Structure 1
């Protein structure tokens, strides 16, 4: 089975459903000339340019191609957000407007660990290339979980920029950083399947949609160099022979500066990612201080929405109760 594409001219809208034709040959062989799929509620039929049918793990996905108007909100491009990708801390985000946060990656790690364990159990003592319905089902479940996590994480980052008038995102990325990685057997099995590259691409797509400038830069030596001490930050392959950072990374995800201050190690790396391009862009980093690098807010992708919903339910319940108890009613 392969991907099938239908242009807009071949599609028709009938009673809230899209008619997809199958052709005369299919009608002659099977007596079926078309089938129907529901029209998405968030789209207009007139805006659809193409329909694609994608087979994945014994499932079919309908992919709609449509024209999207780009928002032209004028954001301040001098306000910048630096992003350091990782594993336990999936994305560490630091800005020069005095705000920092971390997108927790523990649940993503747990989902991949569960998937690897299940696949290993099912494929035990089987021939190479073995595949069955159970493997297809758990693979599809894992892929949907990753896709949901990517969309949530990218939306949180972009919404943060829109709310704080941040017009530039700097993403630290080394191309091929997973190809020759040596973190040990256990860490490799957790780090390599994490779809950070897809998350980077999704953030880039949303930046284009909302008028945010997206810059990708190499992140060599950003974890070793002390941002607060202003250490020299070499590029990849250009480290001087006698170069040595003034600070040191310690246990429990902390970084000790030359002044014996302890800051978050990943936040220090994200700040250095901004510093990689600060001179080129003429950025002001005066508000990127020790307080921003010490206590970044941790965000859990799947729990945050539930907490917000519970909080809103409590607020609405209290508001309704106060109205019922009002003597004017």
Structure 2
């Protein structure tokens, strides 16, 4: 069912900004430019689980039918797509409802053109990441945010995961072949260390850099 709903202007403070870093284990990491608002994460592991089951069953079926198709394979694809879409809708609704409660007026989302084509995080992680429909998730967030009166900005996120927010590193624009050095570094999955030895969640660091990139 498709329906159209007119946007209703609402009294929101556009200076209260939230920023989203999209990822794999953490589907979305949300930070704010307001002191006292604690960052929160949207779990991405259920989507990984859905895709893992789909890939396993698809491989088993294709080993039997080779390059052909079948009703079982079509049903498997349809069921997987429904599950993914359902999770994305629930995640985006939860996220927007939380922003409305916090009186957020602007939402910044990090996204690079061709980011999945140039991905190099290992073959298995590449497959997991490319199977998550982040663009569809961004679309769902965008229209739900706008219906709530929240402005949405899509911005570049080059080097936001490598740059140290706590050390206020400069965020350079991406240029192929160029190499940059940064104050901190990711010491293990999910953990970033600043130049002064302060530990911060790596995705939170990336989300804050996206926020800084859009609103210095």
Q: Is the TM value for this pair above 0.5?
A: yes
Aligned to 1:108: 47
1: CA distance between counterparts of 2:121 and 2:42?
A: 22
Aligned to 1:151: 89
Normalising to structure 1: TM-score of the pair? 0.62
1:252 shift after superposition: 3.5
Q: How does 1:285-300 map to 2 (within 5 A)?
A: none
1:231 aligns with 2:148: no
Tell me which of 144, 152, 162 is aligned to 2:100.
162
1:188 shift after superposition: 1.9
1:258 aligns with 2:195: yes
2: CA distance between counterparts of 1:225 and 1:76?
A: 29
1: CA distance between counterparts of 2:118 and 2:33?
A: 33
2: CA distance between counterparts of 1:226 and 1:189?
A: 28
1:118 aligns with 2:57: yes
**Superposed CA offset, 1:277-328 (max 9, x none):** 113xxxxxxxxxxxxxxxxxxxxxxxxxxxxxxxxxxxxxxxxxxxxxxxxx
Tell me which of 142, 148, 152 is aligned to 1:204.
142
2: CA distance between counterparts of 1:248 and 1:114?
A: 34
Helix, strand or coil: the match of 1:81?
strand
Q: Which runs of 5+ in 2 are unaligned?
A: none
Aligned to 1:69: 6
Whichever of the two has the greater Rg, that structure is: 1
Aligned to 2:126: 188
1:160 shift after superposition: 1.4
Structure with bigger RCO (C-alpha 8 Å, 6+ apart): 2
Helix, strand or coil: the match of 2:56?
helix
Aligned to 1:298: none
Q: Which runs of 5+ in 1 are unaligned?
A: 1-62, 280-329
2: CA distance between counterparts of 1:67 and 1:249?
A: 44
Aligned to 2:110: 172
Q: How does 1:240-279 map to 2 (within 5 A)?
A: 243-279=180-216
Question: Residue 105 and residue 187 in structure 1: after superposition, are their counterparts in 2 closer, same or farther (change >3 A)?
Answer: same
> How many corresponding residue pairs?
214
